[in-house]
Structure 1
Amino acid sequence: MMLMTNKKAALSSALALVMAGLSSPGHAMEFKVSGQLDRAFTVADNGNETDYASVDNIGSNSRFRFTGNEKMANGMNVGFIYEMSVVQFGSTEFDIGKNSGGGDVDLDTRKIDIYLEGDFGKVSFGKGDGAGYYANMMDYSGTLYYGGGAWYTLYSSGISFVDDNGNQLYRIGATNSVFNAVGRQERIRYDSPSIGGLVLSTSLDNGNAYELAARYHVDLPGAKLATGLSWVDTNDLEIATSPTDGQPLTPGSEFREKQVLSASASLLLDGGLNFTVSYGNDETDAIANAGQANQEGFDATNLFGQVGYLTGAHHFAVNYGETKDLIVEGTKGSQIGLAYVYDWSSAVRLFSSYHLYSLDLPSSVKTAEGWGDANDISQLYAGVRVAF
């Protein structure tokens, strides 16, 4: 309770400082329209069947945005961002043997945000990233969201594991997760000024949820380092999507209060060699009306490691990730990945990757469901991003 009280007081003080400086007029607001198209082609095999599809790369989906900012006479900067995604058959929707069409168009408001920044730091209010979002995504490889990186389920979460008898087991997104906070929220957020490369952030989200984060960037002799750490408590926040893969929950499902601890670090050497690690822990107090996932709550952990190399416009990465105890206690979902990205120009990016997914299930689940061992899933994923 004391933490929440202090947190609210800090946000209120920061907002008061901002409001005190709003009386100074400024110059005309600069306005910009931008966005991107990001399409991919995927081929996947579940051990029984092979299928392919043209998809939108949910790693960094197709979108457009309107942005503006104005420099006030007192030095304060005031701006906004209105961003929407327009997705036609996202990569997280694809499943082997169920690819009969292009799916529906998904139009989503990603951000509706106003920010004010100055010597005091930055205050943002509206729909946008909570303080903890992406703190566990520090990655210098240049492959994050384009076939590489810790959030590899964005390319494949809808694909189902099967056994030799063709029984459908769990989807990749139900057994593997990066545990990246709770996503874009209606919130008020404060980011401190950089203190020797350290930025502290906090946000209050709707539903009495709160987030704390620290991010640190520093140049070292012959290298540079980025680290992130975040803590999220959802309290009464209504979670409309699965905490595993961001997909909509089945009606009647209930995920009660959850806490997410996440961290990451990435080191880039002057020669281009880079190393990335990510950690996430997601603890849910209770789960109800969720089928096989019914339990008093889960305490799941994700680990990820990656070695990359970049030279000029070329980015290479090899990585491994595993999630334990997510959908059911005793499960382990793992992934081995290879990724390559080529920056053809500042606007055009080509990417390709290979992924091998495995699932280990406890014998109690296999016996209860009449399942055999899960077959591995192999996936090729390649595409192009064009920004404007």
Structure 2
Amino acid sequence: MVIKQSIKMTTGALLIGSFAIAPHAFAKSEVKISGQVSRALTFADNGVDDDVLFTDNTNSGTRFRITGETDAVAGITVGFNIETQYQDNASDQVDINDSDSSSAFRSRKRELYFQGGFGKLSLGQGDGAANGTSEVDFSGTTIADYSGQDLYDGISFVDSSGNAVVSNGQAFDNFDGLSRNDRIRYDSLNFGPVGFAVSAGTDKGEIAARYSQKLAGGSKVGAAIGYVTDDADDFQQLGLSASYLASNGFNITGAYGEQYLNDSPLDPTSAYIKIGQKLGAHNLSVSYTLTEDQVASNVEAERINLAYVYHLKQGVELFADYENAQIDADGVEDKNLFSIGSRVKF
């Protein structure tokens, strides 16, 4: 109780200075500490070598956060979100025979927001307006497989001599919105099942629309589309996705994205389709990803994923995933990857 009260008092003091609101405004603020631990054991074969890797699953990595909000004035809620990631052997950094055992803190979010009848206004480091628009997914298997799939991003495709050609992370991309950048963002109130968002950072801008609707009989459908312009890195991109979950647990998800590189002849595209089934706490899915012109002009990269996630209880998941990945370039070996792991939220 003493510790909890101290956290409230300290955070309240910081927020008072940030928001320039009267001291009594945060006297009744609620501050929460939450987070998760996310680990995986991966058996990897790149066609020449194989290895066993202990990783932190970057699909949704180990992190902790402090959040809080209060009713500052009538009709307006003020809040903050501080989130830090702490990964050891991040799955998007390790490779066969090259395990990175270093640990690193990484700032994810440092933002404040004002929310009321006007919508929501956010300021600071956080998600861009279009972030997540390529990742609408009701399958229940996203910790193991989703359109972005970071679980094997660090593992390289190799040639017949074992020389690295390109990593999974370089061969595949879902062209989602910008993640965790310094920006100002506005989210509108929903117009029925539809909401809009726009954000602007340094030489960057995003706009997005999202749709979510519960249907008769307990099924639901969701979709999103987002557009990004990034003058700093000289590209624009479009991403969209949709997912449908039937009342019997059957689900289907799709995503598409494309990028326009101003100083490159490449215009990469990505398509993703997933079919799944929920059976109580059990979630199964199979997905196919095709990326074109990402590695090189007229070169395709493909992968098939079979995923299973068991929701043991609220906040506790066990998972398994198998991936076969290949590039249609001469001399590049196919990869076979298998992981088991867990995510525990607190």
TM over 0.5: yes
Aligned residue in 2 for 1:148: 145
Aligned residue in 1 for 2:193: 197
The answer on whether the counterparts of 1:278 and 1:305 sit within 8 Å (CA) in structure 2 is: yes
Q: What SS does structure 2 have at the residue aligned with 1:349?
A: strand
Q: CA deviation at 1:51?
A: 0.5
Q: CA deviation at 1:73?
A: 4.3
Q: CA deviation at 1:164?
A: 2.4
Question: Is the counterpart of residue 126 in structure 1 residue 124 in structure 2?
Answer: yes
Aligned residue in 2 for 1:383: 341
Question: Is the counterpart of residue 115 in structure 1 residue 113 in structure 2?
Answer: yes
What CA deviation, in whole Å up to 9, does each residue of 1:205-242 have, x standing for no partner? Answer: 12x21100000001223321100000000113xxxxxx
2:271 aligned partner, one-letter code: L
Aligned residue in 2 for 1:33: 33
Aligned residue in 2 for 1:280: 257
Question: Is the counterpart of residue 165 in structure 1 residue 161 in structure 2?
Answer: yes
Q: What SS does structure 2 have at the residue aligned with 1:174?
A: helix
Q: CA deviation at 1:188?
A: 0.3
Q: CA deviation at 1:201?
A: 0.3
Q: CA deviation at 1:193?
A: 0.4
Structure 2 distance, partners of 1:92, 1:71, is: 40
Q: What SS does structure 2 have at the residue aligned with 1:173?
A: helix
What CA deviation, in whole Å up to 9, does each residue of 1:219-269 have, x standing for no partner? Answer: 223321100000000113xxxxxxxxxxxxxxxxxxx41001000000010
Aligned residue in 2 for 1:228: 224
Q: Structure 1: where are the runs of 5+ without partners?
A: 1-18, 237-255, 287-295, 362-371
Structure 2 distance, partners of 1:168, 1:209, is: 33
Structure 2 distance, partners of 1:226, 1:23, is: 41
The answer on whether the counterparts of 1:27 and 1:73 sit within 8 Å (CA) in structure 2 is: no
Aligned residue in 2 for 1:212: 207
Aligned residue in 2 for 1:267: 244
Q: What SS does structure 1 have at the residue aligned with 2:295?
A: coil
- The TM-score normalised by the length of structure 2 is 0.90
The answer on whether the counterparts of 1:314 and 1:342 sit within 8 Å (CA) in structure 2 is: yes
The answer on whether the counterparts of 1:27 and 1:72 sit within 8 Å (CA) in structure 2 is: no
1:79 aligned partner, one-letter code: G
Structure 1 distance, partners of 2:272, 2:22, is: 44
Structure 2 distance, partners of 1:377, 1:210, is: 37
Aligned residue in 2 for 1:342: 310
Aligned residues: 326
The answer on whether the counterparts of 1:285 and 1:298 sit within 8 Å (CA) in structure 2 is: no
* Correspondence 1:304-343 to 2 at 5 A: 304-343=272-311
Higher strand proportion: 2
Q: What SS does structure 2 have at the residue aligned with 1:155?
A: coil
Pair 267,22 (structure 1): closer, same or farther in 2 beyond 3 Å? farther
Moved over 4 A (4+): 21-27
Q: What SS does structure 2 have at the residue aligned with 1:60?
A: coil
Structural RMSD (CA):
1.8
1:221 aligned partner, one-letter code: A
Aligned residue in 2 for 1:82: 82
Structure 1 distance, partners of 2:280, 2:189, is: 32
Structure 2 distance, partners of 1:70, 1:373, is: 59
What CA deviation, in whole Å up to 9, does each residue of 1:336-380 have, x standing for no partner? Answer: 00101111111221111000001012xxxxxxxxxx421110000
Structure 2 distance, partners of 1:121, 1:182, is: 21
Aligned residue in 2 for 1:58: 58
The answer on whether the counterparts of 2:83 and 2:108 sit within 8 Å (CA) in structure 1 is: yes
Structure 2 distance, partners of 1:62, 1:162, is: 29
Q: CA deviation at 1:165?
A: 3.0
Structure 2 distance, partners of 1:233, 1:73, is: 36
Structure 1 distance, partners of 2:243, 2:33, is: 32
Structure 2 distance, partners of 1:156, 1:22, is: 49
Aligned residue in 1 for 2:68: 68
Q: CA deviation at 1:83?
A: 0.3
What CA deviation, in whole Å up to 9, does each residue of 1:31-88 have, x standing for no partner? Answer: 0111111111001101111111110010110001000010234121110000000011
Structure 1 distance, partners of 2:335, 2:26, is: 57
The answer on whether the counterparts of 2:127 and 2:178 sit within 8 Å (CA) in structure 1 is: no
Structure 1 distance, partners of 2:22, 2:281, is: 43
Percent of pairs identical after alignment? 34
Aligned residue in 2 for 1:11: none
Q: What SS does structure 2 have at the residue aligned with 1:130?
A: coil
1:28 aligned partner, one-letter code: K
Q: CA deviation at 1:183?
A: 1.4
1:385 aligned partner, one-letter code: R
Pair 164,114 (structure 1): closer, same or farther in 2 beyond 3 Å? same
Structure 1 distance, partners of 2:316, 2:212, is: 27
2:55 aligned partner, one-letter code: V
